[in-house]
Chain A
Amino acid sequence: MATTKDRLRGTLDVLILKTLSWGPRHGYAIARWLEDTTGDALTIEEGSLYPSLYRMEQRGWIESEWGTSELGRDAKFYRLTPVGRKQLRAETAEWKSFASVVIGVLQCETPVRSGA
């Protein structure tokens, strides 16, 4: 259970980092971007976004700054730090290799005989 939750959180973290790789955004903008790009395929509670943001800020992957939103309201903007950028690269590579292994297995058509 805990591992599933951790994996989900880790997934969310890397998605947030990816979102921020194009420039600073506030929390709501991140939520909207995730919603739009995944087409609601990842149904997460929007609230779970924020603890992830705070945690990553604490780790130094992202940093925040209060500014004015496009509608003139005060909003907290997040942006990637160099450490966060490195983290994003590392996790992306990990995901890619993980995905290729899983896909390789899933696409395999003849069973490999054991103890040949």
Chain B
Amino acid sequence: MTEKKSGGPGRRVRQSNPFWKASADDLVDAELDFHLAMRERDLAARGTDPAAAHRLALARFGDLESVAAECRELAHQTERKVRKTEYLAELTHDARFALRQLAKAPGFATVAILTLALGIGATTAIFSAVEAVVLRRFAYAHPERTVLVNEIEKGLDGNVSAGNYVDWAREAKSFAELGTTNFRSFNLAEGNTPERVPGAAVSASFFRVFGVPPLLGRAIADAEDQPGQSSVVVLSEGFWRRRFGADSAILGRSIRLDGEPHTVIGVMPESFDPLVVKEQLWVPIAFTAERRATHDEHYLNVVGLLKPDVTMAQANREMGEIMKSLAQRFPIDDGERGARVVSLPDFITGPFRARLLLLLGSVVLVLLIACGNVANLLLARSSARAKEMAIRAAIGAGRGRIVRQLLAESFVLALLAAGAGLLLARAGIAVLVANAPRGVPRLSEAGIDVAVILFAFAAAVVSAVLSGLAPAVRLAREDLQATLREGGRNSMSPTRDRVRTLLVAAEVALALTLLTGAGLLIRSSLNLGRVDPGFEVQGLLTARIALPARAYKEGAPQTELAFRQLVDDLGRRPGVLSAAATSQAPMGPGGNQNGLIPEGRALEPKNAVLARLRMVTPGYFATLKVPLRRGRLFTDDDKAGAPRVMIVSEALARSMWPGEDPVGKRVACCEGSPTDPKWKTVVGVAGDVRSGGPMQDVVPEFYLPVAQVPAEAWDWIQRTMTIVVRGDRTDPATLAGAIRAAARTMDPSLPVYRITAMRDELRSSMAQEQFNTGLLTILGVVGLLLAAVGIYSVIAYFVTLRSHEIGVRMALGATGRDVVGLLAWQGMRPILGGVVVGGMLAGWGTSLLHDSLFGVDARDPVTFGLVALLLIVTGFAATVIPAIRATRVDPTRALQG
């Protein structure tokens, strides 16, 4: 601060200031004192008595205190302003200087900026996904008070029965609003193309829970949420735009849903997607009195808005009490059930939070490796500039000033990199969103917004400090005088050596951590690919068909006949080998669970074994090629009126009759009463099927022939079946036409939807895992390449520094091999150190992957070993190449140099 500078900005005022260290306050006092003293002197000179002159001077001055106070305040303001101007001027100066320096070394600047841009861009892209999916506020009026209320059975969250919902809404005091929704699809017959539209039946209070105002019209009113009212419907903005061309005269118009006319009363804005399931329309749920009293059949989702002063814990306590009393009133339906209140935003984002944060953590490792490389480049550059710095120090530049100048350089680098990184991030986000597995909530909203831009610049600032501080401090601390004496020749300062070795070790450790994670996920993927799904996936096509209640109101026989005729018709079409219908295909939607009680146990709910029910036509097993382990398959003779039969899966057979032959056993389920259990006889055992995809464990399942299912079962599945077709060609897509044609023959207004090849279904059931694996593999490879470049440049630099020494050694008779060995050993030491540290880091890091791994341990020694080997080999190559090059130099030339 002692430097004298004339004409610098903002310094004019102070340069000859005798009160250099005096405070602004003292200066104000001194100035005013001078005024008073002068006035006094003048008055005295005109003959005023000295004492009177003092009083008179004060009186003429006015209110001394308030003037002094005002002046002090103004002086402080001025001082601050001056300081700011000075600071900004220095900053611009530093930045301009840094830019000029970088322009002089375009190669260095390009490599450094691209390296950082890669790190910042990748980190920013992942951050934008985290922001969109996890961090962004949900578009509810009060997201912090919006909750989901689930029933709990055997520790698992489940849906809610209408009776329980009605009782909760009446008794619970914790909620300002309690609403319910039942997701279902509707057949829309408007114009020529029948369409299946995902929607929901909701209570009027459902809209009040979220408090989002409609775009047009209004939401459902309480009076409309009653049975027997003429039907109304609220549309989503997206559906209204797509299907009705954003027609503003839509309100009051009637549209046919499932054959019934519904009057459009409102349109909800695009942002209204409260449970992130993208439903397109809402109709009143309008419980009948009978339904309101039903505590069985748990199919509703219940959402609530807590009162402002009620905590989650209080709400949970109250719901616990209410469930206790309901359990007493309805021991069969609610005896084993509790309730749980959870934050709705947390519930929606929960499953994705950990994975996304893990990805963010991984990409930060890549950024750190990039910073390591740039730090390396800056170090190399600063030693090349040691002489320049020494001269600047010699002519009076303070060390602080030099450090700041160097930091300015890395800041300019990092900010340029942030700009380039944002461009990269934009491309990255597009790729990410396009390739992400379906079902990640809100991911499609990811993009570059203010928060993302701020993040990119924050990442740049951190990168600048990380990569710039070490070289800057190192340089400033160096004995610059010595450097100058040596005429700028690089002295091999051992401390600087250590910084570089540490950088190499750190980069290796980080790359190892990343690659180990990627390696474990790759092994998991390979394992998943080898899992036997329990049926033959290739050549199968599935499609969903729902029969409207209105047209099939004659009940079970009519519905069953329709599906059987459809399947028979399909089976006769060209290209079709066999066809079947099922309430749920493996990995597909639909399906429900039932409790089964084997003969011999008391017919009480607590003796029931839960298993997944699949209602199938007889050809199901042959079409999917699910193997029969024992007994027989269903035949056309297993029809209504014939003895009731069922087929169980191996898993169910094991859990119900361990060690016994299940064929011939009798089971009560799905219908009947303790006095008339409607026994069903097990006629066969089918092989286990991975219904939830290869990641999921096998669950107990049982099959009923469609001709024998209880009449209510058609309502459980809303008369919706999955049609499964096996074709004679390898491409199952060609079968879609056959299914559509068969459906049209049966009923031209019937939409066929969710047409999916089984192999795509299998692929998408693993999409999340594959996506993570792919992304982490890319990050790992990028990290490895960056680390390799870093190692190479450090070793190459060392070799250049020591070319003189190498020359001496070789002149004294050392062979090229000796020299390479020596250099390689020195180069490999930090790499080996990094491998050890990275191994420990990875050991901790991979435990976070636990949930994503399949068939491989988080500390799998094979993966750890292979990755360590990969890094050692890469590191060795990056070390040996510059070492060999060094030995090619003619020793005489090296000695002269």
Q: Are B63 and A47 in contact (CB under 8 A)?
A: yes
Contact stretch, chosen from A14-22, A52-60, A83-91, A108-116? A52-60
B13 contact from A32, A47, A65, Cβ within 8 A: A65
**Total interface residues in chain A, CB < 8 Å:** 26
List, in ascending order, chain A residues with CB within 8 A of B27's CB. Answer: 76
Interface of B is mostly: helix
Q: Are B18 and A74 in contact (CB under 8 A)?
A: yes
List, in ascending order, chain B residues with CB within 8 A of A26's CB. Answer: 34
- Per-residue 0/1 for A11-51: is the Cβ within 8 Å of any B Cβ (1 yes, 0 no)? 00000000000000011100110000000000001111011
List, in ascending order, chain B residues with CB within 8 A of A48's CB. Answer: 62, 67
Q: Are A46 and B16 in contact (CB under 8 A)?
A: no
A5 at the interface (CB under 8 A from B): no
List, in ascending order, chain A residues with CB within 8 A of B38's CB. Answer: 28, 69, 71
Q: Are B71 and A46 in contact (CB under 8 A)?
A: no
Q: Are A66 and B16 in contact (CB under 8 A)?
A: yes
Q: Are B31 and A63 in contact (CB under 8 A)?
A: no
A96 at the interface (CB under 8 A from B): no
Q: Are A57 and B78 in contact (CB under 8 A)?
A: yes
Q: Are A46 and B39 in contact (CB under 8 A)?
A: yes
Listed in ascending order, the chain A residues whose CB lies under 8 Å from chain B are: 26-28, 31-32, 45-48, 50-51, 54-55, 57-58, 63-67, 69, 71, 73-76
B12 at the interface (CB under 8 A from A): yes
Shortest beta-carbon distance, A32 to chain B, in Å? 8
List, in ascending order, chain A residues with CB within 8 A of B552's CB. Answer: none
- Per-residue 0/1 for B38-64: is the Cβ within 8 Å of any A Cβ (1 yes, 0 no)? 110110000000000000000011111
B77 contact from A58, A69, A73, Cβ within 8 A: A58
List, in ascending order, chain B residues with CB within 8 A of A76's CB. Answer: 27, 30-31, 34
List, in ascending order, chain A residues with CB within 8 A of B30's CB. Answer: 74, 76
Q: Are A64 and B13 in contact (CB under 8 A)?
A: yes
List, in ascending order, chain A residues with CB within 8 A of B35's CB. Answer: 27-28, 31, 46, 50
Q: Are B67 and A47 in contact (CB under 8 A)?
A: yes
Shortest beta-carbon distance, A69 to chain B, in Å? 7
Q: Report 29 cross-chain contacts, Cβ distance below 8 Å, ordered by A residue.
A: A27-B34, A45-B63, A46-B39, A46-B60, A46-B61, A47-B61, A47-B62, A47-B63, A47-B67, A48-B62, A48-B67, A50-B32, A50-B70, A54-B71, A54-B74, A54-B78, A57-B78, A58-B78, A63-B13, A65-B12, A65-B13, A66-B18, A66-B19, A67-B16, A69-B34, A69-B38, A74-B19, A74-B34, A76-B34
In the bound assembly, the distance between CA atoms of A65 and B13 in angstroms comes to 6
Those of B460-484 within 8 Å (CB) of chain A: none
List, in ascending order, chain B residues with CB within 8 A of A73's CB. Answer: 34, 37
B75 at the interface (CB under 8 A from A): yes
In the bound assembly, the distance between CA atoms of A21 and B236 in angstroms comes to 73
B67 contact from A50, A64, A65, A75, Cβ within 8 A: A50
In the bound assembly, the distance between CA atoms of A74 and B27 in angstroms comes to 11
Q: Are B67 and A27 in contact (CB under 8 A)?
A: no
List, in ascending order, chain B residues with CB within 8 A of A57's CB. Answer: 74, 78
Shortest beta-carbon distance, B635 to chain A, in Å? 100
Closest residue on chain A to residue B22 by CB atoms:
A66
Q: Are A45 and B39 in contact (CB under 8 A)?
A: no
Apart from A47-B32, A65-B13, A67-B16, what are 17 other A-B pairs with CB-CB below 8 Å? Answer: A27-B35, A28-B38, A46-B35, A46-B60, A47-B61, A48-B62, A48-B67, A50-B32, A51-B74, A58-B74, A58-B78, A63-B12, A66-B16, A66-B19, A73-B34, A74-B18, A74-B19
In the bound assembly, the distance between CA atoms of A34 and B27 in angstroms comes to 24
Shortest beta-carbon distance, B490 to chain A, in Å? 48
Shortest beta-carbon distance, B18 to chain A, in Å? 6
Shortest beta-carbon distance, A112 to chain B, in Å? 44
List, in ascending order, chain A residues with CB within 8 A of B16's CB. Answer: 65-67
Shortest beta-carbon distance, B690 to chain A, in Å? 78
List, in ascending order, chain B residues with CB within 8 A of A65's CB. Answer: 12-13, 16-17
Closest residue on chain B to residue A55 by CB atoms:
B74
Q: Contacts A28-B34, A28-B35, A51-B70 given; indicate if A46 touches B13 (C-beta within 8 A).
A: no
- Per-residue 0/1 for B59-86: is the Cβ within 8 Å of any A Cβ (1 yes, 0 no)? 0111110010011001101100100000
- Per-residue 0/1 for B8-38: is the Cβ within 8 Å of any A Cβ (1 yes, 0 no)? 0000110011110000000100111011011
